[in-house]
Structures are given as C-alpha cells and as structure tokens.
Structure 1
Amino acid sequence: MSRTTGKLYIAARVAGVALFLAGVSACTKIDKFHGYAPTNEDLTEVMIGQTTKDEVISRFGPPMSEGALANNAVYYASSQFVHYGAFAPEEVDRQIVAIRFDANNVTRDVARYTLQDGKVVALDRRVTEDGINDVTVLGQLLGALGRVDAGAFLGDE
C-alpha cells in the first residue's frame, strides 16, 4: 500500500466517523418549554369568592391573555414540544389555566385544560369573490376587443 493510499484510507475513516457522529447527534431529542401555567399546588392559594384579580396577577405574574369582552377571566398557558432532528416539533403537553372572576373582580372559578381536552375547530373561511367566472386570459382579451372605441385611437372627442 502506497503512502498516498494510506492517507486517503485514514481520511476516509475519519470522515466516516465524523459523519456518523453528526448523524447520531442530529437525531437527539430536544425538549422545548413555552409559557407558564400555575401548578395545582400554586392554585390552592386561590380561594374562590375571596381572591381578587389583582392578587392573582401579583401572585402568578401577567397572564397570557385576558378575556375582557366575553368574560372576566385571565388565562395562563404552557406547552412542551419534543423535536427530533429534521422532523417537525410535536406538542406532547399543554396546560391552560383559566381563572374567571365575577363583576367585582373576585374569583368565581378556576379551571385547568390539557392537550387531551383540546378540540379541532373548523374555521369558516370567508373569501371575497373576484367576479370572474371561469374566464381565461384569452377569453378576457377577446371580449375586450369588441369594447374598443375607434375614436379614442383617432383622437376624436
């Protein structure tokens, strides 16, 4: 075996090992956490009929969302995603805590929703019609030929 062949053989082995290690590390599981939802132990401090909205916000921080128009409530949400290599992240856990208040901003209800409680919602898609009913570009051009005014070309007004 010549000296050049031996160096190529070693370089190919090193490249193969590096490629294998890169492939294995690319498939490593990555956990991502988003948001914050109070635990059940934290929620024991919220007393129905006694704790005010300001006390809840000062205890748990600013909510993810507030339902000011439809209902007087605050929402805290957290999610956990698992990501493997080049694949899309998959949501494996979701916690949503809804704390509702009465007209006096006193706690009325506390509810926890999980990923299993979620439902697929079909949204009503509203699209404005363009007014062109299956007319091709060629059809539009030919239809415009009959509307041409010769006086516009000759400069007559």
Structure 2
Amino acid sequence: MHGIGTSLKWAVLAIALVGVAGCETRYRNHGYVPSEEVLQQIVPGVDTRATVEDVVGVPNASGVLNDSGFYYIQSEVKHFAWQRPTVTEREIVAITFDQAGVVDNIVTYGLEDGRVVPLTKRVTQTSDGDISFIRKLFGNIGGINLGDMLGG
C-alpha cells in the first residue's frame, strides 16, 4: 500500500509540473526586416525593383496601389497558456518606387501604442495611399484591430 501512495504523489506532482510548464510565456518572431546596413546599400533615385530584390530579398508583401512598393514585415507574437496570441512588436520597412520602377523612398514603421509611427525615413516625400496601406498591414496581420486598441 505504501508504494501506491508514493506513486500517486509522484503522478500528481508530474501533472502539476506539466500544468505549470504550459503557463510559460513564449515569444515567436515572424517575417523578415532587413538590417540598417543592408538598407544603406539601396540608393533612392538609382536602384530599381530588381536591385532591391537582389540586395534585400523578396518582400513579404508588395503595394496594391499601382505596384507602388515592397513591404518587409516582422512581428513578435506573445503566446501565453490558453490566451489568444498577441502581437507585442511589429516593424515594417516600406520601399516605394516611382512609375519607372526606381526607388523613391525607404521608410521604417513601428507600432507605438497601437498607432503606426514612422521610425526612419530616407526621403521626405510620402503618399497618403502608402500610409493607408501600412495602416492596413498593421491592423490586419496577426489579428490586431487598431480601432479597438485606440478605443474607437
């Protein structure tokens, strides 16, 4: 009888340890954003779509407005126990092109308090359509709804 009680205690302890291990917070990175060193190799007004693909790589997404740009997206997602995964960090590098296919602008966006924020810009001109597309990327990838986060 003494052996069964000890085995039962060990079994309960093992189940409790498995339950606690399931509550561990895990972070996963999804996507790819080129480093600043790689982006420095791209020259606005000189490089083309082909040279960007050669230097930076194939983009995660491309612009829907007249094939306006390449978008490289990286997200960090927090997974905790039974809770829905949440995006804790997101960065987007947008490389836009003019109508001739030459690099027009390179901008890095981040997610600050649920708002799309430009972190760096290589050229100052922007387009409302491109910003709208970036907002859609932040709002749709990973299930984040920026309106809910902003309380509106």
TM-score w.r.t. length of structure 2: 0.70
CA apart distance, 1:69: 3.2
Task: Determine if contact 2:44/2:103 at 8 Å carries over to the other structure.
Answer: yes
Instruction: Write out per-residue CA displacement over residues 9-38 of structure 1, whole angstroms, 9 at most, x where no aligned residue.
Output: 102211121012101211122221111111
The match for 1:46 is 42
Alpha-carbon shift at residue 62 of structure 1 (Å) = 1.4
Amino acid at match of 1:100: T
Structure 1 gaps of 5+ residues are 123-157
Structure 1 Cα separation of the partners of residues 147 and 24 of structure 2: 33
- Trace 1:31-42 onto structure 2 (pairs within 5 A): 31-42=27-38
The correspondence of residues 1-157 of structure 1 with structure 2, limited to 5 A, is 4=1, 6-70=2-66, 72-116=68-112, 117-118=115-116, 120=146
C-alpha distance in structure 2 between counterparts of 1:97 and 1:21, whole Å: 42
Query: Aligned AA for 2:98?
Result: D
Please tell me the root mean square deviation across aligned C-alpha atoms, in Å.
1.9
Compare the two structures and name the one with the higher strand fraction. 2
Report the Cα offset of residue 75 of structure 1: 0.8
Paired residue type of 1:87 = Q
Question: Partner residue of 1:129?
Answer: none
Q: Residues 94-139 of structure 1, C-alpha deviation per residue, up to 9 Å, x if partnerless?
A: 11111011122111101111122436259xxxxxxxxxxxxxxxxx
TM-score by length of 1: 0.68
Task: Give the % identical residues.
Answer: 29
Larger Rg: 1
